[in-house]
């Protein structure tokens, strides 16, 4: 069995050429060979064309598994030569149960299970000190934004200055902020059984008194817009400061 994964940001033609050479060799231990290409949507154009030729005339006994979460990004000519099998992700509840069985605290397990559908990623998140710190920053920031002073801006500045990895963690931070604002809204409408940050109900109750429903709904939209801006390489500090100021404008 041979695994092909992106080399950096993409799967390159040299990787597909190596795959072709390996699969063309006669199997010693078995009559069958299997190769798996992960994130096949990240192939370069040259790699895609090379793989297409391989799929058109595969060696005898070779099985290809092409994995992707973005099938629309794959060449239609490649898709037409594949049998598509769809797998549904595990539910957040199932992931949280698995994490708790592994010893993760219920609150962190619940939050991590709503960030990713990958059990291993959820486990790594829930056991990471930085994950807990990011959630604490989210709670702090949502409180400071309603104080109508500069404390929230100082929090953003400190966050960006103190961590070397914070730019990589900003999408996660913003996802956590969306979940937190969503939970405040759920407290306001009495849906306590559906809280994600279920271990922070007292804090949520307090913040539910100072946010309005309209502010929360608008705030979620603002966070999503900020996340899109940062993914398009906007200046992270300016984007976050803009978000805080928009929160404080109400």
Question: Residue 198: its pLDDT value, please?
Answer: 92
Dihedral of CA atoms 226, 227, 231, 234 in degrees, nearest 10, equals 20
114, two tokens: 């709503």
113, two tokens: 């299970």
Q: Is 3 left (phi over 0), alpha (psi -120 to 50) or beta?
A: beta
99, two tokens: 């994490």
The answer to whether 178 touches 224, Cβ cutoff 8 Å, is: yes
The answer to whether 23 touches 35, Cβ cutoff 8 Å, is: yes
Question: Residue 72: its pLDDT value, please?
Answer: 87
Q: Which residues of 6-38 are buried (b: 16+ CB within 10 A; e: fewer)?
A: beeeebbbebbeebbeebeeeeeeeeebebebe
Terminus-to-terminus CA distance in the chain, angstroms? 56
How many other CB atoms sit within 10 Å of the CB of residue 228?
A: 12
Measured in whole angstroms, the distance separating CA 111 from the mean position of its chain's CA atoms is 13
17, two tokens: 């050429």
Tens-binned pLDDT, residue by residue, of the chain (250 aa): 788 999 988 999 999 999 888 887 765 556 778 889 999 999 999 999 999 988 888 778 888 899 998 888 898 999 998 899 888 888 999 999 999 999 999 999 999 999 998 999 999 999 888 899 999 999 999 999 988 778 889 988 888 887 667 778 899 999 999 999 999 999 999 999 999 999 999 999 999 999 999 999 999 999 999 999 988 888 989 999 999 999 888 6
How many other CB atoms sit within 10 Å of the CB of residue 53?
A: 10
Measured at the CA of 133, the angle between CA 129 and CA 139, to 5 degrees, comes to: 150
112, two tokens: 């991590």
């Amino acid at each position: 069995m041979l695994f092909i994964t992106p080399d950096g940001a993409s799967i390159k033609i040299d990787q597909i050429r190596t795959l072709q050479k390996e699969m063309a060799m006669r199997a010693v231990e078995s009559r069958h060979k299997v190769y798996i290409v992960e994130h096949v949507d990240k192939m370069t154009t040259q790699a895609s064309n090379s793989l297409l030729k391989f799929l058109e005339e595969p060696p005898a006994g070779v099985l290809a598994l092409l994995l992707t979460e973005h099938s629309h990004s794959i060449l239609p000519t490649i898709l037409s030569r594949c049998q598509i099998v769809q797998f549904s992700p595990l539910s957040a509840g199932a992931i949280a149960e698995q994490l708790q069985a592994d010893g993760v605290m219920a609150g962190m397990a619940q939050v991590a299970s709503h960030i990713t559908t990958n059990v291993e990623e959820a486990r790594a998140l829930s056991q990471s000190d930085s994950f807990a710190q990011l959630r604490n920053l989210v709670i702090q920031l949502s409180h400071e934004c309603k104080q109508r002073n500069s404390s929230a801006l100082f929090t953003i500045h400190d966050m960006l200055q103190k961590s070397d990895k914070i730019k990589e963690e900003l999408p996660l931070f913003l996802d956590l902020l969306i979940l937190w604002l969503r939970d405040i809204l759920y407290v306001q409408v009495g849906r306590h059984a559906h809280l994600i940050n279920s271990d922070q109900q007292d804090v949520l109750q307090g913040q539910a008194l100072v946010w309005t429903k309209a502010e929360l709904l608008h705030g979620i939209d603002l966070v999503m817009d900020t996340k899109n801006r940062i993914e398009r390489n906007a200046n992270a500090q300016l984007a976050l400061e803009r978000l805080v100021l928009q929160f404080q404008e109400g």
